[in-house]
Amino acid sequence: MRILVMFDLPIATKAERRAYSDFRKFLVKDGYCMEQFSVYSRITLGRDALASHIARLKDNLPETGSVTVFSMTEKQFEDRMVLLGKARRDHSNDYGAQMTLFF
């Protein structure tokens, strides 16, 4: 089985940033891997282990924000699609032909 954790935590104050950081560190220390920003997954050894992982998540839950947990089979996780767009081009140094007229 696989457990997927998605979270949206506020980071407006220093205390909220600390809570966000502590929760993320907990996930990494507990064996979760980052799939995307604020989306982490972990392999579990069945439904019994899933229940203990969810209990640990509840014990380390930040006071504010939301955390969503999905459980799925390994087959369902393998069947996911990762869709990627083109790499963004950095435009910070793209002066174009117009700037060459000034040199």
What is 2-78's CATH topology?
A: Alpha-Beta Plaits (3.30.70)
| Domain coordinates in residue numbering, the chain | 2-78
Q: Tell me: is residue 59 an annotated ligand-binding position.
A: no
Distance from CA of residue 99 to its chain's centroid?
40
pLDDT in tens, the chain (103 residues): 999 999 999 999 999 999 999 999 999 999 999 999 999 999 999 889 999 999 999 999 999 999 999 999 999 999 999 898 887 666 454 444 444 444 4
Which pTM does this prediction carry?
Answer: 0.79
Q: Classify burial at 65, counting beta carbons within 10 Å of its beta carbon; exposed 0-12, middle 13-18, buried 19 or more.
A: middle
